[in-house]
């Protein structure tokens, strides 16, 4: 194999599954399909790693004549770029499954002083870091600029100024190198963060995506199809960790600090109940919990931890009790809905998926449900560009392309099945993303 990993050979699996195609030239061909076979064929080809595009189609009464364009590229190198919040990241990924490089420049030190992300500072730092981060990704992968087959960039959701830095850079690069470009939903990126270190996802799957900006439970009946089953009505789970940590004087980001203190605290010390929706929907809500913590702090006269001071027993107990109710809420809802929908894989991803208690409780739930639970490793749980490249590879292989008018979409949603917007609007239910 040459360094770029291009190899023009059809996989044996592909040959076995679609034998009539083994002798096809890797260019346009007209094929007569029984109607029902086109979908299956297209799926087989895209799973084989070959690019396929239907360039023209004739639909007859009981057959379809499709003119297909096969790119014949078994190996695809994709540059991923992520800049939606406070991490500037670039990665080079082969075939959507193998990380050749993944570079992340975190802005935690900048935002720590303010106890949260300051959007204006975030955009400025992305501007400073984007060039060296992308260059470093190419250097570490040992890949030359012109060897990549496409560019995938986070389109949204996120902070507009931050997103625009990555998008503008990706568009300029795609134009200069004449490479295909796709925009990726950041949340879909988190779903794809599990593909590198786990066996292939078996569908239908469930994905619980929990981070500082989002808390969603998706039903994924097939690749690329998303139905939101539950989501937060107010704060995201990671945001609740960050706000409670700030309240207790513990620093930013709050998740890892609360987890560390919780290990030495008693989760039964403070009784918080799992928030439930009055309208019976299986949604999450963490803002009431934050208020309950603040009430507990006020009523017990608990002092915030001063810089350099050792957190008290009461603070550790509060951290453990708070973490416990968040985990019970996330896993309890996931398990209940899984009993109803019977997924075959459970994916738990996003920054909060770093949390050991959440991992343990999810694995136990997976055991009771009899399904495997896939987590990304820590490096891939928080924001990174490898997950964006992986999600983008699937889109590029399916022939999706973004134009140079690609723009940031700060409230980009991830749901393309049974979208209930009108019904929700009528019932006046309000959601964050």
Question: Which residues are near Zn ion by CB under 5 A?
Answer: 211, 383
Least distance in angstroms from the C-beta of 267 to ligand KG4: 14
Which of the ranges 4-12, 165-173, 209-217, 362-370 carries the binding residues for ligand KG4, by CB under 6 A?
Answer: 209-217
Give the E-state strand segments of 245-340 in sequence order: none
Residues 155, 406: contact at Cβ < 8 Å? yes
Least distance in angstroms from the C-beta of 85 to ligand KG4: 5
Residues 17, 11: contact at Cβ < 8 Å? no
Whose tokens are 């699996």? That residue is: 13
The pair of structure tokens assigned to 212 is 């500082």
Judged by CB, which is closer to ligand KG4: 328, or 344? 328
Q: Find how far residue 41's CA is from the centre of its chain.
A: 28
Phi (first) and psi of residue 229, to 5 degrees: -95, -30
The pair of structure tokens assigned to 20 is 């009539």
What distance in Å separates the CA atoms of residue 237 and residue 215, rounded to the nearest whole number?
A: 6
Q: Does 234 bind ligand KG4 (CB under 6 A)?
A: no
* Cis geometry, peptide bond prior to residue 204 (ω within 30 degrees of 0): yes
SS3 4: coil
Residue nearest to Zn ion (CB): 211
Q: Does 265 bind ligand KG4 (CB under 6 A)?
A: no
Least distance in angstroms from the C-beta of 44 to ligand KG4: 34
Which one of 80, 253, 267, 311 is in contact with ligand KG4 (CB under 6 A)?
Answer: 253
Q: Does 343 bind ligand KG4 (CB under 6 A)?
A: no
Which one of 83, 101, 211, 397 is in contact with ligand KG4 (CB under 6 A)?
Answer: 211
Judged by CB, which is closer to ligand KG4: 213, or 267? 213
Q: Which does 343 bind (CB under 5 to 8 A by kind): Zn ion, ligand KG4, none?
A: none
Which one of 156, 238, 343, 366 is in contact with ligand KG4 (CB under 6 A)?
Answer: 238
Residues 244, 258: contact at Cβ < 8 Å? yes
Q: Does 242 bind ligand KG4 (CB under 6 A)?
A: yes
Total binding residues for ligand KG4 by CB under 6 A?
A: 20
Judged by CB, which is closer to ligand KG4: 211, or 345? 211
What distance in Å separates the CA atoms of residue 215 and residue 236, rounded to the nearest whole number?
A: 5
- For residue 355, what are the CA distances in angstroms to 73, 82, 106, 230, 288? 39, 22, 19, 20, 21
Q: Which does 355 bind (CB under 5 to 8 A by kind): Zn ion, ligand KG4, none?
A: ligand KG4
Which of the ranges 40-48, 95-103, 347-355, 366-374 carries the binding residues for ligand KG4, by CB under 6 A?
Answer: 347-355
SS3 136: helix
What distance in Å separates the CA atoms of residue 233 and residue 219, rounded to the nearest whole number?
A: 18
Least distance in angstroms from the C-beta of 286 to ligand KG4: 11
Q: Does 85 bind ligand KG4 (CB under 6 A)?
A: yes
Assign residue 239 a region (left: φ > 0; alpha: ψ between -120 and 50; beta: otherwise).
Answer: alpha
Binding site for ligand KG4 (CB under 6 A): 85, 211-213, 238-239, 241-242, 253-256, 259, 350-352, 354-355, 382-383
């Amino acid at each position: 194999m040459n360094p770029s990993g291009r190899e023009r050979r059809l996989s044996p699996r592909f040959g076995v599954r679609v034998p009539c195609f083994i002798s096809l030239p890797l260019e346009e061909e007209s094929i007569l399909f029984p109607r029902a076979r086109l979908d299956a064929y297209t799926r087989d080809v895209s799973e084989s790693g070959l690019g396929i595009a239907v360039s023209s189609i004739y639909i007859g009464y009981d057959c379809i004549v499709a003119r297909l364009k096969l790119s014949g590229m078994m190996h695809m190198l994709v540059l991923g770029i992520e800049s939606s919040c406070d991490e500037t990241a670039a990665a080079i990924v082969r075939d959507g499954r193998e990380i050749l490089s993944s570079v992340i420049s975190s802005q935690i030190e900048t935002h720590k002083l303010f106890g949260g992300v300051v959007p204006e500072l975030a955009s400025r730092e992305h501007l400073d870091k984007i060039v060296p981060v992308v260059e470093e990704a190419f250097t570490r992968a040992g890949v030359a600029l012109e060897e990549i087959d496409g560019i995938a960039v986070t389109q949204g959701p996120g902070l507009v100024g931050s997103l625009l830095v990555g998008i503008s850079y990706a568009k300029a690069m795609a134009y200069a190198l004449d490479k295909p470009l796709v925009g990726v939903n950041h949340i879909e990126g988190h779903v794809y963060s599990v593909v590198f270190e786990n066996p292939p996802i078996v569908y239908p799957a469930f994905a619980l995506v929990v981070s500082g900006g989002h808390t969603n439970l998706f039903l994924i009946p097939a690749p690329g199809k998303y139905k939101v089953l539950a989501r937060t009505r107010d704060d995201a789970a990671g945001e609740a960790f960050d706000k409670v940590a700030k309240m207790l004087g513990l620093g930013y980001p709050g998740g890892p600090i609360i987890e560390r203190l919780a290990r030495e605290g008693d989760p039964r010390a403070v009784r918080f109940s799992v928030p439930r929706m009055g309208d019976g929907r299986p949604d999450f809500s963490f803002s009431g919990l934050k208020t309950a913590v603040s009430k507990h702090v006020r009523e017990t006269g608990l002092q915030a931890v001063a810089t350099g001071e050792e957190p008290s027993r009461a603070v550790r107990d509060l951290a453990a009790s708070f973490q416990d109710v968040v985990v019970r809420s996330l896993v309890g809802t996931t398990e209940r809905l899984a009993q109803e929908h019977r997924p075959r894989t459970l994916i738990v991803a996003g920054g909060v998926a770093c949390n050991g208690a959440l991992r343990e409780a999810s694995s136990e739930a997976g055991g009771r449900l009899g399904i495997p639970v896939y987590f990304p490793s820590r490096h891939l749980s928080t924001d990174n560009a490898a997950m964006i490249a992986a999600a983008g590879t699937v889109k590029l292989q399916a022939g999706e392309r973004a134009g140079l008018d690609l723009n940031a979409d700060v409230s980009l949603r991830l749901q393309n099945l049974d979208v209930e917007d009108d019904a929700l609007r009528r019932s006046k239910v309000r959601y964050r993303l």
